[in-house]
Structures are given as C-alpha cells and as structure tokens.
Amino acid sequence: MNDPAAPEDRAAQLAANLSRVEERIAAACAASGRDREDVTLIVVTKTHPAHDVRLLAGLGVREVAENRDQDAARKAAECADLPLRWHFVGQLQTNKARSVVRYADHVHSVDRPRLVDALSTAATAAGRQLGCLVQVALDAGSGARGERGGVAPDAVGALADAVAAAEGLRLDGLMTVAPLSGAYAGQPRAAFDRLVEISSRLRETHPAANMVSAGMSQDLDEAVAAGATHVRVGTAVLGVRPRLR
C-alpha cells in the first residue's frame, strides 16, 4: 500500500480499496437492517495529492474531506472541475473561516461560539450557506473541550442553537471521533450509540439536523451499526498517509 505506484496501478489500488470499504458498509447496513443509501461514504484525502482526489472522482466518489485549510484550499482549486463536495473535518482556527467557506460545503468540527460567529460572518460575506455539524467530544467533562476538538455533550444544545440562529449557517447534525481515552476508550460502539442518543435529543428541537458523522477506517462498521449517516474513511481507501499529522 505504501509503494509509489504507477498511475494506472494507483487507480486500480484505489478501486480495490474502495470496493472493500463499500463491502464493509453494505455488510454493516445489512446486519443492522439499514438501507445502504442511508449511509454516505466521505473519503478523507488529507495528506494525499490532488491527483488521488481526481482518480477517486473518476471512480465515482463525490464526497471528500480534508482537515487542514491550506492543503484543502489548494486541492479544491486544483479539482474545481470535478463534481465533488468538500467536507472540512479538522480543528479550525477562526482566521481560516474566510478561506474554508470558499470551498467547503460542510464543516464537521464546529466546537465553540467564536467559530460559529467567524463562519457566519464569512459565509454571509461570500453569499454562501454552509452546512455545520457540532463536534461532540465524548471524553470531555462538563465545560471542557476535547483534546482533538469538540464540545462536551452538555454543551451541544446551546452551540447547536447558536448555529441554527446564525446567518449563512445551516445546522446539519453532529460529528464525533471515537475517544482514545476516558470511559469510551476502546469502545467505539458505545461511543457511537451515545452520539446517536445525543442526536435524537437534538432532533427534538432541530428536526432537520439529521447528519450523524461517525466512524473512520478502524470503526466504520460499529458506526454504521449505531446509526451513523456519514462515515469518514481515509486510510482504508488511500493507504497509510505519507506524512503523519
């Protein structure tokens, strides 16, 4: 998977990896009685070149994600001719909001009021509507933020209300990363069940906020079983990342 491959080999490798991921999603859907169409695969292309994004688009991928604005902005520009939707999934500084709203359709990592304000200002100025997911840190205690971003479960409601009220933003749902520490460490299914529970409560007041973004290469099966609507898969499609971030 790490060997530099000739272009045609790379396309074949991506196609094979994609079909294995597709099989996993389909199997997890079947096992839990869900329709395959209820789960969207987002391919996380961070650290991989724009050429890979182009190959993926040729293989039918329509949703891609990045976690650093500088790389994402460049790749989105290089791939502007492709029918792709860009998701931003990384921790986001407020001074990057103006850039992100130019190419991103969704930001999955909204985790503080200042970021809501910055995204709202930027989206309004750009004349765009940006889909926002509140990132939930299941390992964060009340009042704290997660080590990898996100708000504690008890702060989700207020932040979601702020997104829903903000001009230029649309509240689309919730995102999480399975915690590496705390009560949910090594228990992705329990973590995703908890996220789905928080999502159900959120939808009592925001019925349209029905995206549940959960599951990566290691744990997408558990995420689908728990009810995720969007899985974010990098390594299992693209191979081990060239640079660790």
Q: Which residues bind ligand PLP (CB under 6 A)?
A: 44, 46, 67, 89-90, 177, 216-218, 232-236
Task: Give dist(CA 16, CA 51) in Å, integer.
Answer: 17
**Shortest distance (Å) from residue 207 CB to ligand PLP:** 26
Min CB(135)–ligand PLP separation in Å: 8
Mark residue 129 as left, alpha or beta (left: phi above 0; alpha: psi -120 to 50; beta: remaining). Answer: beta
Look-up of token digits 């329709």? 35
Q: How far is the CB of 168 from ligand PLP (least distance, A)?
A: 23
Least distance (Å) between residue 12 CB and ligand PLP: 20
SS3 152: coil
The residue among 168 and 239 lying less far from ligand PLP, judged by its C-beta, is 239
Alpha carbon distance 189, 195 (integer Å): 10
Task: Give the shortest CB-119-to-ligand PLP separation in angstroms.
Answer: 17
Helical H runs in 59-172? 69-78, 97-103, 113-126, 156-165
Whether 131 and 170 have beta carbons less than 8 Å apart is answered as yes
Nearest residue relative to ligand PLP (C-beta) = 234
Between 67 and 120, CB nearer to ligand PLP: 67
Least Å distance between CB 174 and ligand PLP?
A: 13
Cα gap 91→114, rounded to integer Å: 13
Taking the least distance from each CB to ligand PLP, the nearer of 163 and 233 is 233
For ligand PLP, the closer CB: 16 or 165? 16
When the beta carbons of 45 and 168 are compared against ligand PLP, the nearer one is: 45
* Closer CB to ligand PLP, 168 or 179, in the complex: 179
As a three-state string, the secondary structure of 190-231 is HHHHHHHHHHHHHHHHCCCCCEEECCCCCCHHHHHHHCCCEE
Q: Cα(15)–Cα(18) distance, rounded to whole angstroms? A: 5
The smaller minimum CB distance to ligand PLP, of residues 21 and 79, is found at: 21
Least Å distance, CB 43 to ligand PLP, is 9
**Structure tokens given for 137:** 């840190």
